[in-house]
């Protein structure tokens, strides 16, 4: 029998750190959800790998602490990973959400937040991992695309899947139109799933993840 890992809900509200690199529309959706009383989620900090991440503005407007750790400010990737891990851990998160964070974290980070680091990807995994999910889906000619929320492991977009949401691919889609349709569904999924994790906790058994 496979061993289960259980992650209990935090009755005081799930403490969440969000990591971003870009526009931060997923972060904005999380911040817009009522917190922490009804939603049960508290965004305790937002981190980025670049100062230009436009989404940092959403955090500042919401008075959420922000931090930026650029790889180029560190002698090597390992020391970046150590500082990113320590800084994130300083906010005592129950959950860390990569919402368009364009860096692969290192082994220290994964070891510090096992089962507690999730990522949203704009394709229906295991199809189209990597940086260009919507473009790859379009080029392949699939008729259904979507987004996957998963628990990060040491591979690229390979971790156990929490949830998936699908959208149609239309005949006249461009990369931009498909990307936007996916992002709309992706944001709703992220908000809903984080709320479920906050309310019920979650369990990982092999590759199966359940929010109860």
Question: What is the contact surface with ligand GRF in residues (CB under 6 A)?
Answer: 20, 22-27, 55, 99-100, 120-122, 183, 186
74 counts as catalytic: no
Nearest residue (CB) to ligand GRF, 94 versus 186: 186
Using an 8 Å Cβ cutoff, are 91 and 116 in contact? no
Nearest residue (CB) to ligand GRF, 85 versus 179: 179
Nearest residue (CB) to ligand GRF, 4 versus 166: 166
CB of 33 to ligand GRF, least distance (A): 14
Q: Which residues contact 5 (CB under 8 A, 6 or more apart)?
A: 114, 115, 203, 204, 205
Q: Which residues contact 105 (CB under 8 A, 6 or more apart)?
A: 81, 84, 85, 117, 152
Q: Which two tokens stand for residue 32?
A: 């817009």
**Residue nearest to ligand GRF as judged by C-beta position:** 100
Give the other-Cβ count within 10 Å of 37's Cβ: 7
Kindly write down the DSSP assignment for every residue of 163-196, as one continuous string. Answer: EEEEEEPPTT--HHHHHHHHHHHHHHHHHHHHHH
Residue ranges of alpha helices (H) inside 76-203 are 77-89, 107-112, 133-140, 175-200
CB of 145 to ligand GRF, least distance (A): 11
Given the residues 51, 74, 121, 132, the one annotated as active site:
121
CB of 66 to ligand GRF, least distance (A): 14
Nearest residue (CB) to ligand GRF, 78 versus 176: 176
Question: Which are the catalytic amino acids?
Answer: 121
């Amino acid at each position: 029998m496979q061993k289960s890992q259980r992650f209990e809900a935090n009755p005081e509200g799930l403490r969440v750190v969000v990591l971003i690199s870009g526009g931060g529309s997923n972060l904005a959706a999380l911040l817009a959800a009522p917190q922490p009383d009804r939603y049960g989620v508290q965004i305790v900090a937002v981190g980025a790998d670049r100062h230009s991440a436009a989404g940092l503005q959403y955090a500042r407007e919401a008075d959420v602490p922000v931090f930026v750790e650029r790889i180029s400010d560190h002698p090597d990737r390992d020391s970046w990973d150590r500082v990113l891990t320590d800084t994130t851990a300083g906010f005592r998160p129950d959950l860390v959400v990569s919402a368009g964070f364009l860096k692969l974290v290192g082994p220290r980070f994964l070891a510090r937040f096992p089962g507690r680091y999730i990522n949203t990807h704009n394709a229906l995994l295991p199809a189209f991992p990597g940086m260009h999910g919507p473009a790859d889906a379009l080029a392949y000619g699939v008729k259904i695309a979507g987004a996957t929320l998963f628990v990060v492991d040491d591979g690229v977009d390979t971790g156990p899947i929490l949830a998936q949401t699908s959208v149609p691919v239309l005949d006249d889609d461009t990369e931009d139109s498909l990307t936007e349709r996916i992002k709309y569904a992706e944001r709703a999924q992220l908000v809903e799933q984080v709320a479920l994790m906050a309310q019920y906790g979650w369990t990982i058994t092999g590759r199966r993840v359940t929010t109860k």
